[in-house]
Structure 1
Amino acid sequence: MWSWVAHRVTGVLIFFFLFVHVLDTALVRVSPEAYDDVVATYKTPLVAVLEYGLVAAILFHALNGLRVIAVDFWAKGPRYQKQMLWTVLGLWIVLMVGAIYPVLGHAAREVFGS
């Protein structure tokens, strides 16, 4: 049940990110200077943490989506759905640990000055 809720929540979060992304990219046609100002605000540590959250949402949504497909289209899917969920969560954690430095590394260098 919670994986169902998390799948819907991550889907909505990804949709809102895409909506904002289209809007800020379209801003370049209206005013390149305003676009540059908006992009400059994206280079803050807070936005880096939000970016890490976006990576978390996309990864979970993608992996859980594959699990949902397996449950729906594989004859033995419903029998193994709990094991597949734990596999998805384990893989998600491993990938999120691997994404810490690439996503948050530049923010840490900015904050700590290395």
Structure 2
Amino acid sequence: MPEPTAGTLTPSTRVSRGPKRPAGTLYRGREGMWSWVLHRITGVAIFFFLLVHILDTALVRVSPEAYNAVIGTYQTPIMGLGEIALVGAIGFHAFNGIRIILIDFWRKGAKYQKVMFYIVIGLWVVLMIGFVPRQLIHIFGH
């Protein structure tokens, strides 16, 4: 059998690329995937914050002294930075939730999903620009 020349493929020289996947079935790091991931992460974070908040508020009925001690720990700079993260999570989750509602209930919502994601990011940045400096002054100002 003669050797294949450069640029020709024979059945024995072809490289198998595995099964072909249908287009559009996998996220590939695009806006839709990141929106989904961030929405889930912020939702779980908000859930755990609310759980801790309910438990520490309920502590006042068990022991007012223990409640005061727990609330005292919330006055630290670390917790102040945590409040920035909490506001960021709530803001993104809320704006992205509105985006999801528009995609689900607006007939052309899916067509503008990518644009709406960037609008959500823009609104979130505006929210954080308004909140973070005031919070940092509150945390480190006294």
Q: TM-score, normalised by structure 1?
A: 0.94
Determine the C-alpha separation between the residues in 2 that align with 1:6 and 1:65. Answer: 11
The aligned counterpart of 2:132 is: 100
Report the equivalent of 2:91. 59
Q: Which runs of 5+ in 2 are unaligned?
A: 1-32
1:24 aligned residue:
56
Give the total of aligned pairs.
110
Question: Is the radius of gyration larger for structure 1 or structure 2?
Answer: 2
Percent identical pairs in the alignment equals 60
Alignment of 1:59-78 (within 5 A): 59-78=91-110
Aligned-residue offset at 1:101: 2.9
- 3-state secondary structure, aligned to 1:80: helix
The structure carrying a bigger helix percent of its residues is 1
Residue 105 of structure 1, CA deviation: 2.1
- Structure 1 residue ranges without an equivalent (≥5): none
Match of 1:49 in 2: 81
AA matched with 1:37: A
Matched residue of 1:79: which SS?
helix
1:90 is aligned to 122
**Cα distance between partner residues in 1 of 2:131 and 2:56:** 25
Between the two structures, name the one with larger relative contact order (CA 8 Å, sep ≥ 6).
1
2:41 alignment partner AA: V
Per the normalisation by structure 2, the TM-score is 0.75
Deviations 1:53-83 (A, max 9, x none): 0000000000000000000100000000000
SS at match of 1:75: coil
Which runs of 4 or more aligned residues in structure 1 lie more than 3 Å from their structure 2 counterparts after TM superposition? none
